[in-house]
Amino acid sequence: MNLDDVRALIRDVPDFPKPGIVFKDITPVLQHGLAFRTLIDAFADRYADTQIDQIVGIESRGFLLASALAYRMGVGLALVRKPKKLPFQSVRVEYALEYGTDALEMHVDAVRPHQNVLIVDDVLATGGTAAAAGKLVRELGGRVVGYGFFIELGFLGGRTKLPDEAIFSAVVY
């Protein structure tokens, strides 16, 4: 199995979560053991020569990918969540949406100074969420060494909002 086979399992769901949106449903990939392994192995291969101390997963589907990758690479896992979801002292960053703002939080001890951090999420769309996660990592003194995404919606230009760190997208639309 290869990434083209994995891509073929992604299901389009029209008009979700609202009319006019075509949602890229990754659950068929997660349900297919070999496809999920192929995806995680692709991430691990891409970053095999990169010194990574910690993987940061972005809520919520990013947790699924980040946890499997952290296990595969033998490194720690830290979580970036929506506000008021973390039980311990947190740092927070607000970021702009098309209409309004949102925020993300991370525990103050999730990343230590000088740690090399890979940020992982399921989809790179407009780039705001990933850029905010990178800001949190840097605020805690970590170094972002890359961003990894299962799916990139290239037509939305999210890549342009991220710094020059290595960006890997397993599937690009």
What pLDDT, in 10s, does the model give residues 80-93?
999 999 999 999 99
The model carries a pTM of: 0.96
pLDDT (mean) for 27-45:
98
CATH number at residue 119: 3.40.50.2020
Q: 119: which strand partners?
A: 56, 147
In a domain, 109, yes or no: yes
In a domain, 14, yes or no: no
In a domain, 42, yes or no: no
Is the pLDDT assigned to residue 165 strictly greater than 80?
no
Give the domain extent around 122. 49-172
Number of structural domains (the chain) is 1
Residues involved in catalysis: 61, 98
Question: What is the distance between the alpha carbons of residues 71 and 54, in angstroms, rounded to a whole number?
Answer: 11
Ranges of H-type helices in the chain: 3-9, 27-31, 33-46, 61-73, 128-139
Question: What is the distance between the alpha carbons of residues 66 and 143, in angstroms, rounded to a whole number?
Answer: 17
In a domain, 70, yes or no: yes
